[in-house]
Amino acid sequence: MLLNIDKVRQSFPALAGQWTFFDNAGGSQTLKKVVDRISEFLLTSDVQLGASYAVSQLAGERLALATKGMTTLINAKFPQEVVMGPSTTMMLKVLSICLSQTFASGDEIIVTNCDHEANIGAWVALEKQGMKIKVWKIRSDTLELHLEDLEPLMSQRTKLVALTHASNILGTINPIKEISAFVHARGAMICVDGVAYAPHRLVDVQDLDVDFYALSFYKVYGPHHALLYGKKEHLLRLPGLNHYFIEQTDIPYKFQLGNVNFELSYGMLGLCDYLSELAQLHYGNQTISDLRSQMVQAFDLISMYEEKISDRLLNYLNSKPRVRVIGHTKANCELRVPTISFVVNGIDSSTIPIKIDQHHIGIRYGDFYAKRLIEYLGLASQAGVVRVSMVHYNTFAEVDRLIQAFEQVF
């Protein structure tokens, strides 16, 4: 079944403009349904929660609905496991501060060299408190993480392994379920950055059996807002960062300094609305009635479509002798998301996007806050990589326009 791209694009008002957006891993366009939900909250229930009067009660009900929707989106077991906040970087920093209070000097944390800095820097900073940091490196030949390389890094003092679900440069999908089982069998916890994965595949934290999982809504067709998942038993035992009188059992509030943004949280129900409608549009009478199953159907459509448009671009890039794709060179949706990075022999990466700008096509170059990976790959002197990051609202025609533009550059 092919995605109805015309219907999809009607859901994103910004796509009616003159620009083609291929910088989606930096931030996707926003759903009209998300904007509508935000407006609804601000115009009809923009008050503080917890009062006895009706509008305050309505605001509280709406926030509860939003939390329930996000619980369904990631398949958390309990709504209390969903902690919303301003950004993934901030949420992981809060987590690291709280979690470190349960660690002792000499305890060990393992990070990778292929993550966004959000899921590295927050943990590396704990060295100042006596934690020992070890680095699980991708192999230079496969550009993948291998469990055989993680094994010798782990010890009885390993408390946490932090890694990405999908690289925001390589596009590679890591086998998180397998890694989780491996880490848990050795008595440690796992914290996963799902920012580059969540726009393309449906997250299932229970199936993955992760301890912590973070994602950014502005990469998943919403506003600048984020989500941190934590298993309930972990969140209950962790000390919070909120005011001293906030109860230890009051989750997620004890992690939400100054409270959560109500309207942005409520806005994310628009994503639930969209995924439900997408499933109903394509499956008709075969649409499964519950929301989670509709999300599964919607993301099945999305992943299949994205694989096809990725194939179009990757085939072109692979045909150019001077171009080297950084990551999997085939558009296999089991192995990668449509975040495609490359370098061109003899051309500084910084010079390419500006030449594409004139075609009203937005792409980007750099390290994308995965600076350690770019340095490890020896690409810093070339100004990093050129990145074309697609999502399901991009079209074959847009890919072809990009290819035509590239033809004038390399």
| CA–CA dist 30, 15 (Å, integer) | 10
Contacts of 376-380 with CB under 8 Å at 24 or more apart are 376/113, 376/114, 376/137, 376/138, 376/140, 377/140, 377/326, 379/326, 379/343, 379/349
115 secondary structure, DSSP code: S
Domain end point (choices 237, 271, 305): 271
**In this structure, are 79 and 145 located in the same domain?**
yes
**In this structure, are 94 and 216 located in the same domain?**
yes
8 A C-beta contact, residue 210 and residue 192? yes
**Which residue type does 254 have?**
K
Domain end point (choices 271, 300, 330): 271
| CA–CA dist 224, 212 (Å, integer) | 20
Number of domains present in the structure of the chain: 2
408 secondary structure, DSSP code: T
Is residue 282 included in any domain, yes or no? Answer: no
Whether the predicted pLDDT of 130 surpasses 90: yes
Which pLDDT does position 407 carry in this prediction? Answer: 96
DSSP string covering 380-404, please?
Answer: GGGTSEEEEE--TT--HHHHHHHHH
For 270-291, write each residue's pLDDT tens digit: 999 999 999 999 998 888 889 9
Whether the predicted pLDDT of 301 surpasses 90: yes
Mean local confidence (pLDDT), 289-294: 95
**In this structure, are 59 and 118 located in the same domain?**
yes
Owning domain of residue 89: 34-271
Whether the predicted pLDDT of 223 surpasses 90: yes
CATH number at 321 reads: 3.90.1150.10
**In this structure, are 239 and 357 located in the same domain?**
no
**In this structure, are 188 and 135 located in the same domain?**
yes
Q: CA–CA distance from 409 to each of 315, 398, 402 (Å)?
A: 17, 17, 11
Residue in the structure block whose two tokens are 């050129």: 386
- Which are the contacts of 217, defined by CB distance < 8 A and separation ≥ 6? 223, 224, 225, 226, 227, 264, 268, 271
- CA count, 13 A, side-chain hemisphere, 302: 26
Confidence of residue 195 (pLDDT cuts 50, 70, 90): very high
For 132-173, write each residue's pLDDT tens digit: 999 999 999 999 999 999 999 999 999 999 999 999 999 999
Is residue 200 included in any domain, yes or no? Answer: yes
**In this structure, are 394 and 329 located in the same domain?**
yes
Rg (CA), the chain: 21
pTM: 0.97
